[in-house]
Structures are given as C-alpha cells and as structure tokens.
Structure 1
Amino acid sequence: MRKQVIYLAVCTFAGHREVFSSSIEADIDCALEEIIQTDDDFIFYSGGMGEFDKKCESAVRRIKRTHPERSIRLVLVLPYLTHEINRDKEYFEAYYDDIVVPTELMGVHYKVAIKKRNRWMVDRADVVLAYIYRDFGGAFDTTRYAYRMGKPVLNLAGKE
C-alpha cells in the first residue's frame, strides 16, 4: 500500500500561553520539518500571543535559515491595530515577513476579536500545530473549531 502524501501550504499555531514541556522546541522543529517536506511554498500564521506561539515563530525562523531553497513566510495575524506596531516597527519588520489585520475583523469588538482572528487563521490553514493540555481556554476553543472544520491538528502536548 502506498503512503498517502498530503500537500500542505498553510499552517497555523494554537497553544496555551504557558508551555511546560522540556522538549517542546525539539518537538516543534520535528513537526515543522515534517510539514515542509510536503511542498516548497509555506505560510505560517501566528497570533503571537503566548509562549507556544513564540516558540513556533522561532522554529519557523530557524527552518527558513536551514531551508533557503523553500519559500517560507511567517505572518503575524493581529486581531486589531495597536500603537505597538508603529512604535516597534523595526522589530516587527525584522521578525515577520508580513503583518495582517483581517478586514473581516474591522469594527469587531475587541473582546471577541481574538476568537474571530483565531478562526480566521484556522479557516485558511491546511494544518494546525497545537499545544493543548487542558479542556478550556482560547487555544482549546480554537482547536475544537479546527476539528469541527475538518482540519488536521497535530497536538504536541499529547506526546507527554
């Protein structure tokens, strides 16, 4: 029987703010290496909010350096505009290939904007790389939404 190859081009991250795994960096690196074997062009969406997102962003930057032959883009997806973008413009330009505030979120109340932003990322993703170890919170809700939408979810917390 031949192994089925799934071609992925868009990946997003969903994880709790705190990461308790001592091997999470290696686990993320391994998962990303596997993902990028499926194609040559990738977009990685990050909400940039917690420790897991930051670790995933660092891993994407590493993978971009080790695989210059591939087109790999790291995109920060914000739920709304903040003064921080203008104040720290050089930082954001150095760390991200693009910064997006989805037009669908314009005018959305800030208390629901993060949830809607997370759904926006899932809707566009081919796979969700997750770190979910409890059954509540925004990251849990995001992965539950991904499952309902039929998106593959690679939960790295399940390895523990």
Structure 2
Amino acid sequence: MIVTFCGHNDVYGSEKVRSWVETVIRQLINEGATHFYCGGHGGFDRLVSGVLQKEKERSPHIQSILVLAYLQENPYAVDYDYTYYPELELVPKRFAILRRNEIMVIESDVVVAYVTHGWGGAAKTLEYAQRKKKRVIVYPDTQ
C-alpha cells in the first residue's frame, strides 16, 4: 500500500499534528502500508519525515520516499530512504510541483492531508485526491 502526504508549509499546533500523524501512520502500517510518499516542500513534509524516521525503528520494512518535482539535488533527500523522480522533463517548471503531486496521488492508495484552508498546493492536491476517489484522511478527522 502506498500513502501520499500533502500539507501546508506552516503547521500550527505542531505537537498535536505530530501526534495525529504518528497515529495515522501506525494505523496505516497495520493495514499494510509500506511506502510513504512526501514532496519535501514544507513544514508538514518535514514533520512527516521525522515521524517516519522514528517509526522505522519499530517498523524497519517501511520505506519513506522523497518524490522530486525537479531533477536536481535536494538537501532533504538524506531524510528519506530514497528519492523518486517521475518523468517531468516535458512539464514547464512552474507546473512541475502540481504535476508531481498529481502523480503521487494517482500512484497512491491513501492520501493523508493537513489542509486547514482552501487555497494553495496542499488544498489543490487534496481536491485532486477527492476527485480521483482516493481514500483520504484529513486532519483532524481520521475518517
């Protein structure tokens, strides 16, 4: 099972959000999740990366994957098991993150979202996941 995360750069109440992410990740691992996609572009992604690193101590079989929007070095790559670059060479640079997020959703079984307002990339990714009828878990609800 593949899980994608999407969320805003600014994370308010980060300890509460971190606790929620820990609970959701453990629940998904218990359901068979093994691969966790992050975009690595903001506070929520960094929070998720930290939770996944710690969770690997308990569940060493899981994989945290940084999905790149641009084919260049990324300073956060060391925080993940590996990087994945979907073929985006023909996508104009200004649309690369949006297209990368769509690919992440398409390839995923579950999308976990920290979306507190209706604008920005995280909100667009959440809307896309809902249109694609993916299973979505949105903070603070876990339905």
> Does TM, normalized by the shorter one, top 0.5?
yes
Corresponding residue number in structure 2 for 1:98: 82
Q: How far has the Cα of 1:107 moved from its partner?
A: 2.3
Q: CA RMSD in A?
A: 1.6
Corresponding residue number in structure 2 for 1:5: none
Structure 1 segments, 4+ long, off by >6 Å, are none
1:64 aligns with 2:56: yes
Higher Rg: 1
1:80 aligns with 2:70: yes
CA contact (8 A) 1:133 1:158 kept: no
Q: How far has the Cα of 1:100 moved from its partner?
A: 1.3
TM, length-normalised to structure 2: 0.92
1:133 aligns with 2:125: no
**Aligned residue runs from structure 1 range 15-34, under 5 A:** 15-21=7-13, 22-34=15-27
Corresponding residue number in structure 1 for 2:31: 38
Unaligned segments of structure 2, at least 5 residues: none
Residue deviations 1:57-92, cap 9 Å, x none?
111111111123xx211110111122x34xx5xx63
Unaligned segments of structure 1, at least 5 residues: 1-8
Corresponding residue number in structure 1 for 2:125: 142
Count, aligned residues: 141
